[in-house]
Amino acid sequence: ASPRLSEQDMPHENSPGKHPEERIKVLEAAGKLKIPFTTGILVGIGETSEEIALSLEVIEGLNRKYKHIQEVIVQNFKPKKGTPMEDYKEPDIFKMIKVVRAAREVLTSPVQVPPNLNIHTYPIFVLYGASDFGGVSPVTKDYINPEAAWPDLEELFKASERLELELRERLPVYPKYIKERWYSDRVGEVINLYADDEGMVTGQSPPLKQGSLFREG
């Protein structure tokens, strides 16, 4: 929610779609149209604690108004070679924990932390409020971060067991919105093939090319 990050020589200077005014318009439009929406914040691009707090508050305010934000991703910045920010340092685990805790305190929506961007530490964030591992595919790579391989599905299940939690597969639309039918008839034809009565992926459904994992508990 900080326009400062879109100013000259700042990370979002050349990304008009990242300007907070535009992003908030999109979030609000989705709410008015009753579209289940995933949004998030990127950690480690020079933002302040106050800017993080403001972003979380804006997201929560829109969600309280429209009840449409199905999850919020807390994503750590990964510098890429050959880009203007290749020398930026990644946020350390302590900053990520701090942001995940803040998100859990402010938001009523589930919090996701991508496991492939935190391959050795992702179970820790569950202890601080994360409740979703996001899209994890045994078939495709992460096209945004192709250098960051997905964790093995078996490892995700084992990590969840060690945390004494049940890991279940969900569709891109969260179960809450499936049960409340926040989707078109055309999308509903696909959902009916895969979703059980709880809105989770049924064990009898056709095989998915790509799915998401949802941590319950």
What is the pLDDT, as a whole number, of residue 3? 78
What is the pLDDT, as a whole number, of residue 205? 55
Q: Convert the pLDDT of each residue in 19-57 to its tens digit.
A: 889 999 999 999 999 999 999 999 998 889 999 999 999
Structural domain span for residue 122: 3-216
* Cα end-to-end distance, the chain, whole Å: 31
pLDDT band at 203 (very low <50, low <70, confident <90, very high): confident
Residue type present at position 198: E
Residue position matching structure tokens 């326009």: 3
What is the pLDDT, as a whole number, of residue 204? 60
Quote the percentage of the chain above a pLDDT of 90. Answer: 71
Query: Which residues lie across from 214 on neighbouring strands?
Result: 132, 168
What is the tally of structural domains in the chain? Answer: 1
Q: Could you tell me which of 183, 40, 39 has the C-alpha nearest to residue 199?
A: 183
Q: How far apart are CA 23 and CA 25, in angstroms?
A: 5
Arithmetic mean of pLDDT over the chain: 90
C-alpha torsion angle, residues 23, 26, 32, 33 (rounded to 10): -150
Q: How far apart are CA 185 and CA 213, in angstroms?
A: 24
What is the pLDDT, as a whole number, of residue 207? 53
